[in-house]
């Protein structure tokens, strides 16, 4: 490694940047290992080999494997939420917001399947409870805006936004997961069919409006 030269502030910036680069290398290596072999297959020795960061150095950044996994999951969720929310036009009709969110989920699965698989691995694992991963929900808050607007407009069922997005996404994530793991390649028109089913599941139809208004039918 080249010697760090310059002012104290410059040296501090360079050192912090090098530290961030090493942590990112560790995170990306961990994501690749978890996506390929699951949470049980990850070890600090494998991670050191995959990332190129010495195992002793990793313990400078992470006191334990549990802390490492917690930060890997936070890193992954932050990436996913930023990917889904960045530049999304929140002023377009609510249904179109859901449709754009849906398109981005498909693109995420196609272009960043490793992070998609890590997300699914953690959600399916009891380890997620042990790592107190409820903290990552804050990353989803930018996506709640169009859900809340849909609820104000009487279009979306009045339940927690995280539940709306999770329920809306579930059929598609199952479709993508089946494609990645089992090679069950979906037909192109399936995506539209699944979108319509998901939209119907979270939106309020005319004949159920009375139920969501408190159980009394409108006269």
The tens digit of pLDDT for each residue in 129-179 reads: 665 556 677 888 899 999 999 999 999 999 999 899 999 999 998 888 877
pLDDT, tens digit, 9 for 90 and up, residues 173-198: 888 887 777 777 778 788 999 999 99
Q: Nearest CA to 76 among 84, 160, 104?
A: 84
Task: Please list, in sequence order, all residues whose beta carbon lies within 8 angstroms of the beta carbon of residue 148, skipping any fewer than 6 positions away.
Answer: 161
Q: Does the pLDDT of residue 15 top 70, yes or no?
A: no
- Tell me the C-alpha distance between 183 and 23, whole Å: 33
């Amino acid at each position: 490694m080249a010697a760090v030269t310059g002012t104290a502030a410059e040296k501090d910036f360079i050192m912090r940047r090098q530290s961030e680069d090493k942590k990112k290398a560790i995170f990306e290596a961990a994501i690749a290992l978890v996506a390929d072999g699951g949470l049980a297959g990850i070890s600090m020795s494998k991670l050191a080999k995959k990332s190129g960061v010495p195992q002793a150095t990793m313990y400078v950044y992470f006191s334990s494997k549990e802390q490492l996994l917690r930060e890997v999951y936070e890193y992954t969720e932050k990436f996913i939420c930023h990917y889904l929310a960045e530049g999304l036009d929140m002023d377009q009709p609510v249904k179109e917001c859901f449709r754009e969110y849906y398109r981005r989920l498909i693109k995420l699965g196609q272009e960043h399947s490793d992070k998609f698989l890590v997300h699914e691995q953690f959600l399916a694992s009891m380890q997620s409870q042990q790592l107190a991963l409820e903290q990552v929900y804050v990353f989803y808050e930018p996506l709640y805006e169009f859900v809340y607007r849909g609820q104000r407009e009487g279009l979306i069922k009045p339940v927690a936004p995280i539940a709306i997005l999770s329920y809306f996404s579930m059929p598609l994530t199952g479709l993508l997961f089946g494609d990645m793991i089992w090679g069950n390649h979906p037909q192109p028109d399936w995506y539209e069919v699944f979108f319509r089913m998901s939209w119907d599941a979270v939106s309020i139809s005319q004949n159920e409006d009375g139920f969501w208004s408190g159980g009394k039918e409108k006269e």
